[in-house]
C-alpha cells in the first residue's frame, strides 16, 4: 500500500470519529434530546497497529483524546473542509454566526477555518474549568507548538487569545497526507536555504589550530547532552553554541559549516540576508523570528554568511533610524543567545561584528589565506586525475607564485577547463591556469 493510501485509510477513521464528537458537542451545547453526557466517552479509533504517518505521529507523542481532536481539526480544511460546515450556522438571536464557534475567513477559501476557540468549544463547551485546561494545548511549551506540528497565529495584538488562527504546518500536512518528509521551503516565510556538499574533510585544507576549534564544535554537537544533563552543568551553561568564522572570502568558512553538519548528521541552513533585512520597522525581526521559531526544536545549524550586515556594530543614537537599528541588533542578540542549537556567523572582518556578540561566542575561528604548501594541496585536490593536466602544467609553481584562496583556485580551474573545451583539447595547459589566476587577481584588484 502506498503511504498516501495508508494515510487515507487512517484519516477516514479519525474523521468519522471527529464527526461523532462534533455532533455530540452540539447536542450537549444546544440541549438536544438524547445527547451523551460527556464527549470523552466517544473513544478515538484504535490505530495502534497501523503504519500510516498519522498513526506513527500519534504513537510518537502518545497523543490523547484532546491532542488528536485538535490535530484533525487543523487538518480538516485541507482534506475534507465540508466537515466544518456545521460552524457556518447563524445564531437566530443575533443574525450572525455563533461567537463561541470561533473561526476566521480566508481570502480564497469559502469554508470555515478553525481558531483555537473552535477547538476549545468542541473540547469544553462553556465549562470554564475545562476551557482553561484545553487552553494549555496552545501554549508555546506544548509539544504541538514546540515540535512545529501546529501553528497558532494571532492576526492582531490585543485580541482574545483563543481567537488565534489554528493551522497545520506545511511540513506535517505533507507528511500526514502525501507521506512526504519535506524540508522547509525557501521563501518569504522561511528566508533560509538548506546547504549541502559532496566534499569531505579531506577536501578542506586548514591550519591545525583551526581544525582543533572545529573539533570543539563537533564534540559539542555529539556530547552536549552528556555535558548539560549527565554532568549536571546545564544549571550554569546554556544549551546553545555560538561560533564566529572570520577571514578573507574563499577560505572555507561556508564549506566548513556545511561539513560540520554533514559529519554529525545535522541540517545546515544558510540565512538569506537579502530576504531578512527590511527597511520597514519590525519586519527584520519578524523575518528572523520565522527562522528561529522553526529551527528551535530541530537541532539545525544556522549559518549567517556576511553576518556584519545583521550583526554589525551599534551606533550612537542620533536619530530614530539609529535607535531602531540598535533595537534590531539587541533583538538578534537575544534570539541568538536563546537558540539551543549551533549558530555560526561568518564575516570577512572580525572588527565589523558588534562587541556584544563577540563576547558571547564560544569560539572565534580565523580562516587565514593558505600558505604555499596549503595552496599546493588545494591545486592538487582539484584534479582527481592527473591525466587532465598537460605535461607543462606545474601546480607547484602556481602554488608558490600566486597567493590565492581556495575559492579563487576553484574559479581559476573552472576557467581553465572551459578554455580547454573551447579549444577542443582534452587536457588543461599551464597557460589556461595562469589566465584563470590572472582573472581572479584582477577581481581582487591585484596584479601579477
What is the pLDDT averaged over residues 279-289? 72
- Can you give the pLDDT at residue 316? 47
Average pLDDT over all residues of the chain: 89
Share of the chain above pLDDT 70, in %: 92
**Distance separating alpha carbons of residues 418 and 439, to the nearest angstrom:** 14
- Contacts for 160 with CB less than 8 Å, ≥ 6 apart: 117
Question: Using an 8 Å Cβ cutoff, are 399 and 380 in contact?
Answer: no
Whole-number pLDDT of residue 360: 79
| CA nearest to 357, candidates 196, 244, 238, 211 | 244
pLDDT per residue over 76-132, tens digit each? 999 999 999 999 998 888 888 999 999 999 999 999 999 999 999 999 999 999 999
Is 87 in contact with 105 (CB distance < 8 Å)? no
Res 311 pLDDT > 70: no
Q: How far apart are CA 448 and CA 445, in angstroms?
A: 10
The number of angstroms, rounded, from the C-alpha of 105 to the middle of its chain's C-alpha atoms is 28
In the block, which residue shows the cell 475534507?
80
Rg (CA), the chain: 29
pLDDT tier, 235 (very low <50, low <70, confident <90, very high otherwise): confident
pLDDT at 191: 79
Residue with cell 480564497: 108
Instruction: For the chain, list the domains and their CATH numbers.
Output: 3-177 (no CATH), 192-366 (3.40.50.300), 372-443 (1.10.8.60)
Which residues does residue 271 pair with via DSSP β-bridges, in sequence order?
A: 192
- Residue 317: pLDDT band by 50, 70, 90 thresholds? very low
Q: Is the pLDDT of residue 399 over 90?
A: yes
From 207, 254, 216, select the one nearest 348 (Cα to Cα). 254
- Contact of 138 with 164, CB cutoff 8 Å: yes
- The fraction of the chain above a pLDDT of 90, given in percent, is 67
C-alpha grid cell for residue 151? 501553528
> Would the pLDDT of 186 be above 70?
no
Grid cell 549536571 is found at 232
CA angle 229, 181, 339 (to 5 degrees): 35
Give the mean model confidence (pLDDT) for residues 152-157.
86
Q: What is the pLDDT of residue 286?
A: 75
Mean per-residue pLDDT for 397-426? 95
Read off the pLDDT of each residue in 14-40 and give the average, rounded to a whole number: 95
Question: What span, in angstroms and rounded, lies between the C-alpha atoms of 84 and 448?
Answer: 73
86: left (phi over 0), alpha (psi -120 to 50) or beta: alpha
Q: In the chain, how many H helices and how many E strands?
A: 18, 10
What is the grid cell recorded at 160?
482574545
pLDDT digits (tens, 9 = 90+) for 364-398: 999 999 999 999 999 999 997 778 999 999 999 99
**What is the phi/psi pair of residue 422, to 5°?**
-60, -35
CA dist 61 and 40 (Å) reads 19
**Model confidence at 207: pLDDT above 60:** yes
Q: Is residue 103 within 8 Å of 87, Cβ to Cβ?
A: yes
**Distant-in-sequence, close-in-space partners of 166: CB < 8 Å, separation ≥ 6:** 70, 73, 74, 114, 115, 116, 118, 119, 138, 150, 151, 152
Of 385 and 188, the structure prediction assigns the larger pLDDT to 385
Amino acid at each position: 500500500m502506498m503511504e498516501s493510501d495508508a494515510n487515507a485509510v487512517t484519516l477516514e477513521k479519525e474523521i468519522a470519529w471527529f464527526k461523532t464528537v462534533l455532533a455530540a458537542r452540539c447536542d450537549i451545547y444546544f440541549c438536544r434530546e438524547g445527547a451523551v453526557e460527556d464527549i470523552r466517552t466517544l473513544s478515538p479509533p484504535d490505530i495502534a497497529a497501523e503504519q500510516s504517518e498519522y498513526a506513527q505521529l500519534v504513537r510518537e507523542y502518545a497523543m490523547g483524546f484532546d491532542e488528536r481532536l485538535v490535530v484533525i481539526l487543523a487538518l480538516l480544511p485541507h482534506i475534507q473542509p465540508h466537515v466544518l460546515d456545521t460552524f457556518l450556522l447563524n445564531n437566530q438571536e443575533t443574525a450572525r454566526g455563533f461567537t463561541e464557534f470561533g473561526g476566521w475567513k480566508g481570502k480564497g477559501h469559502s469554508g470555515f477555518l478553525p481558531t483555537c476557540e473552535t477547538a476549545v468549544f468542541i473540547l469544553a463547551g462553556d465549562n470554564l474549568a475545562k476551557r482553561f485546561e484545553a487552553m494549555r494545548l496552545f501554549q508555546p511549551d506544548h509539544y504541538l507548538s514546540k515540535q512545529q506540528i501546529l501553528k497558532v497565529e494571532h492576526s492582531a495584538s490585543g485580541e482574545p487569545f483563543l481567537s488565534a488562527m489554528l493551522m497545520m504546518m506545511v511540513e506535517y500536512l505533507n507528511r500526514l497526507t502525501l507521506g512526504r518528509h519535506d524540508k522547509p521551503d525557501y521563501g518569504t516565510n522561511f528566508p533560509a536555504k538548506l546547504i549541502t556538499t559532496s566534499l569531505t574533510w579531506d577536501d578542506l585544507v586548514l591550519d591545525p589550530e583551526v581544525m582543533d576549534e572545529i573539533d570543539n564544535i563537533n564534540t559539542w554537537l555529539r556530547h552536549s547532552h552528556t555535558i548539560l544533563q549527565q554532568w549536571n552543568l546545564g544549571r550554569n551553561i546554556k544549551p546553545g553554541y555560538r561560533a564566529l568564522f572570520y577571514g578573507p572570502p574563499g577560505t572555507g568558512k561556508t564549506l566548513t559549516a556545511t561539513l560540520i553538519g554533514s559529519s554529525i548528521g545535522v541540517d545546515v541552513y544558510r540565512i538569506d540576508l537579502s530576504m531578512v533585512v527590511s527597511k520597514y520597522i519590525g519586519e527584520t525581526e519578524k523575518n528572523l523570528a520565522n527562522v528561529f521559531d522553526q529551527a528551535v526544536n530541530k537541532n539545525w545549524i544556522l549559518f549567517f554568511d556576511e553576518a556584519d550586515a545583521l550583526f554589525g556594530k551599534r551606533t550612537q543614537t542620533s536619530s530614530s533610524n539609529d535607535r531602531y537599528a540598535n533595537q534590531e541588533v539587541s533583538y538578534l542578540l537575544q534570539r541568538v543567545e536563546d537558540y539551543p542549537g549551533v549558530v555560526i556567523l561568518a564575516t570577512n572582518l572580525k572588527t565589523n561584528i558588534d562587541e556584544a556578540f563577540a563576547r558571547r561566542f564560544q569560539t572565534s575561528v580565523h580562516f587565514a589565506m593558505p600558505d604555499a604548501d596549503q595552496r599546493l594541496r588545494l591545486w592538487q585536490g582539484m584534479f582527481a586525475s592527473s591525466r587532465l593536466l598537460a605535461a607543462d602544467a606545474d601546480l607547484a609553481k602556481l602554488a608558490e607564485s600566486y597567493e590565492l584562496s581556495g575559492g579563487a583556485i576553484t574559479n581559476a580551474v573552472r576557467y581553465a577547463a572551459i578554455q580547454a573545451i573551447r579549444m577542443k583539447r582534452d587536457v588543461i595547459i599551464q597557460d589556461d591556469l595562469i589566465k584563470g589566476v590572472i582573472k581572479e587577481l584582477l577581481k581582487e584588484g591585484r596584479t601579477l
